[in-house]
Amino acid sequence: MFRLCHSRGTTLIEVLAATLILALALGGLIQGLIAIMETIDLARDQSQTTTDLRSMLERIRATPFDYVTTRFPDGVVNGPVSSPYTGIVGTYVLPQENITVTYANATADPLEINAALAWQDKRGRARAASMATFRTR
């Protein structure tokens, strides 16, 4: 009988190659998990954003038409000092969260209302979302 290989163990090169392959596979797995966690964080932030904007627009729709522009002044970030928007949305949850209400034409009927929310994600990037609605007498 012929033996083609007289192997007694693995060489250092084989161990290093296997370690390199394992390290590359683990690195890819870790990067994938980090990307998934960032996506989950962003989805959570966007869900909170949607909740806050809907709360704001529901409060605006519940306000009598003649008082909308005074209770929700055009372009004032976080509302008037006497009635800040944090009370409407149930305090701000997102980092650096700000809500601004604007109008296409504050004297028009129907009144086009835009609520914009800006915040900062966990990585420090600025994010923004907005919703719009109409009110009429």
Tokens 């083609």 appear where?
A: 4
Q: What is the pLDDT of residue 46?
A: 92
The tens digit of pLDDT for each residue in 108-133 reads 989 999 999 999 988 889 999 999 99
**Would 27 be classed as within a structural domain?**
yes
CA atoms within 13 A on the CB side of 114: 10
Percent of the chain with pLDDT over 90: 70
* β-pairing verdict for 111-120 and 98-103: antiparallel
**Would 28 be classed as within a structural domain?**
yes
Tokens of 40: 């989950």
Number of independent structural domains in the chain? 1
Tokens 């650096």 appear where?
A: 96
Q: What is the pLDDT of residue 81?
A: 86
**Would 113 be classed as within a structural domain?**
yes
Q: What is the pLDDT of residue 137?
A: 85
The tens digit of pLDDT for each residue in 25-66 reads 999 999 999 999 999 999 999 999 999 999 999 999 999 999
Tokens of 82: 């006497």
Q: What is the pLDDT of residue 82?
A: 85
**Would 2 be classed as within a structural domain?**
no
Given a cut of 80, is residue 69 above it in pLDDT?
yes
The whole domain housing 45 covers 12-135
**Would 31 be classed as within a structural domain?**
yes
**Would 115 be classed as within a structural domain?**
yes
CA–CA separation, 61 and 55 (whole Å): 10
Given a cut of 60, is residue 11 above it in pLDDT?
yes
**Would 1 be classed as within a structural domain?**
no
CA–CA separation, 41 and 121 (whole Å): 8
**Would 17 be classed as within a structural domain?**
yes
